Structure 1
């Protein structure tokens, strides 16, 4: 037996306050967009829920798309039955048998929305559970801690029967909390930071700094693949590919000591801020996690962050590496992130980067670089914009 429909539950955050109707509308539109290739689907929006009528479309294929819709808390495959006791009982039994767990402890929970139905909720609990027990002797009823809870909703025109609940992404609907620029390296952390920012309702554009020809085209393709993974949750994402070779080499000519990385990072932040102004973003998202590397001590992050005036959002700042890796595996970016292609931050790396930079000294060095502002503007002018979608195909094999 195949499900007839899917019941979608919107996240609790989307249902609070005056923003509820706006959030519901955004999630509803994202749901329809995510499954637009399935032409036979039809939709019904109710308070806090969306119902998708499958109309013979594949549940398995549709649910894969739904698992990436931001703001969607959970969903359930639903079997429908006419408002007749025998039909409800037989459909409920078939739904239980689909779980392939004949030894489970279960309970039946009936919700009678249609008050004209001749049996009340308590009567229906017993009538449906008793019918299932007779048909499957290995089952046992446990009303306190059941392994399976079979739910039956008696609505105006039909009964809805379901037991499974698939966890969605949750969070806020896409773009409901504004727009930010994601500073995206090729590492593990920044794609995870981008995902968490998306889940908080931010629409993202990605910014990547490359030092071609010192860094290869392979590293740039790697970043495109990471953006493609994030695009699975957000739709097409604009990727800004910033040529950083000139700035990096000129800074290295002037200064090669322990503050080199601090100077580079400040230049990156300033370029990203300029791009944010040009493309209507209000914040910068980064993948810093406190204490992981020299540029991610509290003092380093303070000095680097002082280079810009826009807010800096650091979703990973107090997370452990193993937690970050777990999320990277969940969103399917980990295997791409660990591919051994260099990024620009590995170029000219000093042996002992400063963990406690002085803002006064850093600003003094920058003032001696009279050419720096012009170089930053030129990097912005030469930045290439690429739209990346979730269908971006891996090209690593072709690069060897």
Structure 2
């Protein structure tokens, strides 16, 4: 019955006409890519600040789960389309409504009719349409009397809201599904996300996707188990950005050298700071290679020793690329809630994999000059160029 999906966006509608059309086209392409990932074909077009997707009815459940994860979509409704003829609208509305009643079973069922004239091209007002459709439903219900059902109008908290949107045609529905919102992926350029197997960085990547950024996900591998978790996280995040890439850089030897060399000179408390400074240098190189316009980390102020305000400053010094930290002001519970909502939390917490190089007493207030000297000391003793060359094969 439902072979059309009416898709609504939010911020896109506030843009100028040319920008809005460009964003609409990006969003349409993203929807097609998201569906194609699951071997679903669909025709999609723009209808006056809405998108209309046509799919096979037997794919509807899968389409609903896919559209929930496409940034730029605020809400959507599987709909039945009919002409802008009041009699046809009545007949279609009754058919849609009675099918919904069949799903709910017996008892008292409350409902209301809610009409929105997206285009003011219909002779009746929204209130007049609501009244006429509501009266038709009640009249037909009294005639059919399906089962032991009592039907009542409730304008405040109904069990069924029969929605009608008047555009080029009438679109009738009973469900409104929430989307991610935000802006379409790739409408704001591309960023490189430092992706670990933990809770935070996948959420940081998702939030940048939601703000319209395409992503390259860079994982600095320190264990095989961690990489396997990251691959699973990547499959989840790819639902939000079907254009994303995963790049794996084998970081184990570098991290081992950082730990050993700093221990030799009694500066192991700087291990996390130097590790992250070098991580950002590597991220910067990959950001250049992939034409990214910023680096994303999952830092949140005060969460661990390397994320004190002072250490974030020390770690960032010397990196020319912009570093964005979308989680910077969130606490752990807020981050966990988002991770659960987007589907990465269970993967991130499935097996705790601790970094083998974390010192017993990491410094919480590092000094820029000392960090700079220690970084140079490390970089002079590792073959970073050879490591980069060996890692070129790790593009996915």
Question: What TM-score, normalized to structure 2?
Answer: 0.86
CA 1:331–1:258 in structure 2 vs 1: closer, same or farther (change >3 Å)?
same
Q: Paired residue for 1:150?
A: 162
Q: Paired residue for 1:396?
A: none
Q: Paired residue for 2:391?
A: 383
Q: Paired residue for 1:210?
A: 221
Q: Paired residue for 1:127?
A: 132
Q: Paired residue for 2:115?
A: 110
Alignment check: 8 A CA contact 1:38 1:57 kept: no
Moved more, 49-58 or 221-230: 49-58
Q: Paired residue for 1:349?
A: 358
CA 1:121–1:255 in structure 2 vs 1: closer, same or farther (change >3 Å)?
closer
Alignment check: 8 A CA contact 1:210 1:244 kept: yes
The count of residues paired between Structure 1 and Structure 2 equals 377
The yes-or-no answer on 1:87 pairing with 2:111 is no
What CA distance in whole angstroms lies between the structure 2 residues aligned with 1:239 and 1:171? 23
| CA apart distance, 1:359 | 0.8
- The 5 A counterparts of 1:284-303 are 284-303=295-314
| CA apart distance, 1:55 | 4.7
The yes-or-no answer on 1:326 pairing with 2:337 is yes
CA 1:357–1:150 in structure 2 vs 1: closer, same or farther (change >3 Å)?
same
DSSP 3-state at the match of 2:33: helix
Alignment check: 8 A CA contact 2:12 2:24 kept: no
DSSP 3-state at the match of 1:271: helix
Q: Paired residue for 1:397?
A: none
Alignment check: 8 A CA contact 1:239 1:386 kept: no
Q: Paired residue for 1:395?
A: none
| CA apart distance, 1:387 | 6.1
CA 1:111–1:189 in structure 2 vs 1: closer, same or farther (change >3 Å)?
closer
Alignment check: 8 A CA contact 2:270 2:371 kept: yes
Alignment check: 8 A CA contact 1:328 1:334 kept: yes
- The 5 A counterparts of 1:172-191 are 172-191=183-202
What CA distance in whole angstroms lies between the structure 2 residues aligned with 1:126 and 1:236? 46
Q: Paired residue for 1:27?
A: 27
What CA distance in whole angstroms lies between the structure 1 residues aligned with 2:243 and 2:190? 14
| CA apart distance, 1:386 | 5.1
CA 1:138–1:324 in structure 2 vs 1: closer, same or farther (change >3 Å)?
same
Moved more, 130-139 or 49-58: 130-139
1:139 to 139, 151, 174: 151
List alignment gaps of at least 5 residues for structure 1.
Answer: 389-400
| CA apart distance, 1:277 | 1.2
CA 1:380–1:121 in structure 2 vs 1: closer, same or farther (change >3 Å)?
same
